[in-house]
Every structure is written in structure tokens, then in C-alpha cells.
Amino acid sequence: MDIDHYLARIRYQGSVQPTAATLRALHEAHMLAVPFENLDIGLGHAIQLDQASLWGKIVERRRGGFCYELNGLFALLLRELGFRVELLSAGVANNLGGFNPDFDHLTLLVHLEEDWLADVGFGESFRQPLRLQPDLLQKQEWGRYRLMRDGEDWLFEEWRDAWKPGYRFTLQSRTMSDFSARCLYHQTSPESGFTRHSTCSLATPYGRITLSDMRLITTRHGVREERHVANQEEYQALLLEHFDIVL
């Protein structure tokens, strides 16, 4: 892996020593530079999870991706820098009050003096990793978060007028191939939200900007604005302007 090329992709110029401070800085830089997006699914382009495919898409072609791609490649970067990283399986909270199956989401466990939950692939979520400590309120500039524990299960929650579950996970280490079947499901099943809606979303220094189908949603310092995108020509122009993406 060409570490310098990857760091340039996320516009990172800080320390690369495997410390908690470096992890926090890399995590936030990644969130601000690489969008969460599923545009390839709508285009009918297969998403591959091998290192060469992830590198080519995210670093060489300056695209984004969804959890398997973003966290998969970020884990490789962290390992190259000397971090101890494990891939974890998570089930995302659903509208029925439960959780989707295992391998629905890929998140990361990073071992340092204390353990951290890292996740650059969950859309609008924590910008810096969370300490893996149950019941600890963890405040960041853009939100409040906590991790809860029930036996072997852990639960990531975010405060939005009340505590809302994000996903449930265990600390069992996984391999990238374990996520292949669920990744294929999300690309092909009519039940998957990724086949029914397209999204491209990026954290910004002032909030977030998102193209959700034909809507442009901008949040600036807590103020949300939304407008309709007139046509595909404008849609393509917005992808280029805000996400540096040319399809």
C-alpha cells in the first residue's frame, strides 16, 4: 500500500505514529474527505471487497463507498501504520424496533492502551472513534454517543432528542470474506435500502452535505436546508462540485 498516496487522498499531514491521537485525527480526516455513497449499485457496477478494488475505487478514482469498502480500506491503512485492528460484524437498527442480521454492517475495533470503536462507514455518525467503555457519555462537536453492553452484545447509540440505537455488535473478530454474502445482498436485493435509494453524503467543517436521490440536503451549524435537484445534468454537476465525483 502506498501510504503517502492514501494520506494525500484524505488530506492528512499529521503524525502517523500508532497512538490514540493519530487514530482520532485520521478518522476525522477520512470522514471529511471520503463520502459515504452507493452510486455504483444504481449503475449496475459490482462492488468488490478485495484490496486492489477498494484501493482503485477510493484512492485512485477518488470515489467513496459504503461500510464494507470504507472501513475495509481504512482497516488496511491502520494496519500498515502499526495499529492492531479487528473487523467486527454489526446489525443495523431497523424500523421494526429490532436489528438487521449479522454482517449487515462492518465496523472496526482498534487496540491501543485502551480499545476504540472506529467507523468511517456509517454515514452521519461519530467523526472520531469512541472509547470501548460501556455507559460512558462521549461528547463530540457534532453529537453525543454512548456504547451499552448486554452480555456479549454491544450497542452503539446516538442522542437525537432521546437515545437512538445505531447498531448492535459483538467483539468476535471477522475476516473480509465473512461480509461477502451480505455485501452482495445489499447490491442486489429489492429489500435492501441501497437498491431502492441512491445517496452520496460527506461530513463538512460546518455540518454535512448529502445528495439523496434527487434531493440536495445541506446542514450548516445545525440548520438543515433541502431542495429538489432539477435534472440529471444538475445532479452530475452537484456530484462534481461537492464530492469531486464524475460518473
Task: Enumerate domains of the chain plus CATH numbers.
Answer: 3-196 (3.30.2140.20)
Could you tell me which of 73, 68, 72 has the C-alpha nearest to residue 40?
68
3-class SS at 8? Answer: helix
Question: Between β-strands 84-92 and 207-212, what pairing exists: parallel, antiparallel or unpaired?
Answer: unpaired
Per-residue pLDDT of the chain (247 residues; tens, 9 = 90+): 899 999 999 999 999 999 999 999 999 999 999 999 999 999 999 999 999 999 999 999 999 999 999 999 999 999 999 999 999 999 999 988 899 999 999 999 999 999 999 999 998 999 999 999 999 999 999 899 999 999 999 999 999 889 999 999 999 999 999 999 999 999 999 999 999 999 999 999 999 999 999 999 999 988 999 999 999 999 999 999 999 999 8
Q: Pull the grid cell for residue 199.
A: 445517496
Is position 67 annotated as part of the catalytic site?
A: yes
Is position 105 annotated as part of the catalytic site?
A: yes
Residue of 104, 119, 183, 200 marked catalytic: 119
Is position 200 annotated as part of the catalytic site?
A: no
Compute the distance between CA of residue 215 and CA of residue 235 in angstroms, rounded to an integer.
9
Q: Output phi, psi for 169, to 5 deg.
A: -150, 165
The residues that bridge with 199 in the sheet, in sequence order, are 212
Question: CB atoms < 10 A from the CB of 150, how many?
Answer: 9
Residue of 67, 183, 200, 242 marked catalytic: 67
